[in-house]
Homo-oligomer: A and B are copies of this chain.
Amino acid sequence: MVSLSNLTPEAHRLLSTQTIELASWAFGNAGTRFKVYSTPGTPRDPYEKIADAAQVNAFTGITPRVSLHIPWDEVDDYGKLAQFARDNGVVLGNINSNVFQDDDYKFGSLTNSDPAIRAKAIDAHKHCIDIMGATGSDTLKIWLGDGTNYPGQDSISGRQDRLADSLAQIYAYLADDQQLLLEYKFFEPAFYHTDVPDWGTALLQVLSLGERATVCLDTGHHAPGTNVEFIVVQLLRAGRLGAFDFNSRFYADDDLMVGAADPFQLFRILNEIVSLDALDTEKSGVNFMLDQCHQLEDKIPGEIRSALNVQEATAKALLVDRDALARAQADHDVLGANTVLMDAYSTDVRPLLRELREEKGLDPDPYGAFLRSGYLEKVAAERVGGQQAGWGA
């Protein structure tokens, strides 16, 4: 049975200091075009979302930041919200723009051929940057729903040009210590072409912006069969892997809990991160985030489970015998190299992680401890009335 003593001191340090950013919207209701189910106790405002996110951090000890989504998380006083977060043991993280829910954006936001709508979308991003100033966030994350549904509907090339111009205007508005993350997605909501569908497109766009622009890799945003860890390697080689949006999927952008659909893929991704020395965010600049939809399951325990899944995959990646792996690879020993990797994957790292938590004064079983805490029952009783937060589609 492995224990912390199986880790090198550096691996121990990396695991001990690993952090995962949570998304505020994961605590609101989410669903499909067919139905959005609600749950008692669902937050009704950004404060309640942050309170819930803080619970995940309180029990796991590894989720100290919360991303906001604007305008979903719009408040009058961002300083007060930031203070509320700190009072709850977390800080505000990235600011995520939303230019896919206003009627004006029906035919595009940053890519729209209508100058007025494009200006409005650019302004929405400048507003996000202003909020970053107020919250102390250093990163603007952009995911666009832009695209078309039918061949011929618009000029793919013209839209790409307008996108470049819009991003340049947004980038220019950033302060020197702020950065821009551009996320790509294979399809949905657009069904014929998407303006930023793949890592190649996102990379070309951020390369043309400047050094403080990087790519966000959402694990669910790829074509069937795509080797995601290969893209991780490519973006790291290019120095432009800015962040992960972790989740999992069996089909399309299912937004299930990370590690739920293919835990081996999650391990392979973390293995590349560890092998390329990118786990330490301070050094690598790679931010690890969750971006999921808890449609059927309770949200807070769903986030706890997801954070634990990332942590378990990380621990396994840190257990890979790198020297033995390198030797087998050099020998072209296909089975031997695969065996080294699988040895780590097959290891049950939960005892090791229980130790790590006890070392930090946490309950060794965050998931169980949270369920036993009575928090879910408490908020279900308290949060009555009002409008539950959701995607607002």
Q: Which residues of A contact B (CB under 8 A)?
A: 1, 30-38, 100-101, 103, 105-107, 113-114, 145, 148-158, 160-161, 186-189, 191-194, 197-201, 203-204, 222-227, 229-231, 233-234, 236-238, 249-252, 254, 256-257, 260-264, 268, 271-272, 275-276, 295-298, 301-302, 305, 312, 325-326, 328-330, 332, 334-335, 337-342, 345-348, 350, 367, 391, 393
List 26 contacting pairs A-B, 8 Å CB cutoff, sorted by A: A1-B1, A33-B36, A34-B145, A35-B105, A113-B330, A148-B334, A149-B297, A151-B260, A152-B338, A157-B275, A160-B234, A161-B237, A187-B225, A188-B252, A192-B256, A192-B261, A200-B203, A200-B231, A203-B204, A224-B225, A263-B264, A263-B345, A297-B335, A339-B367, A346-B350, A347-B348
**Closest Cβ–Cβ distance, residue A18 to chain B (whole Å):** 19
**Closest Cβ–Cβ distance, residue A355 to chain B (whole Å):** 15
> Bound complex: CA of A364 vs CA of B252, how far in Å?
41
**Closest Cβ–Cβ distance, residue A75 to chain B (whole Å):** 23
Q: Say whether B103 contacts A236, CB under 8 Å.
A: no
Stoichiometry, as copies per complex, reads 4
Question: Which B residues touch A33, using CB under 8 A?
Answer: 30-33, 36, 189, 391, 393
Contacts A37-B106, A393-B33 hold; do A153 and B338 have CB atoms under 8 A apart?
Answer: yes
Question: Given known contacts A149-B297, A155-B326, A201-B234, what 6 new A-B pairs fall within 8 Å (CB)?
Answer: A30-B33, A32-B393, A150-B334, A187-B250, A305-B339, A393-B393
Q: Say whether B200 contacts A154, CB under 8 Å.
A: no
**Closest Cβ–Cβ distance, residue A57 to chain B (whole Å):** 19
| Nearest B residue to A255, CB-CB | B191
> Bound complex: CA of A34 vs CA of B159, how far in Å?
21
Q: Say whether B106 contacts A150, CB under 8 Å.
A: no
Q: Say whether B346 contacts A312, CB under 8 Å.
A: yes
> Bound complex: CA of A197 vs CA of B199, how far in Å?
12
Question: Which B residues touch A337, using CB under 8 A?
Answer: 150, 152-154
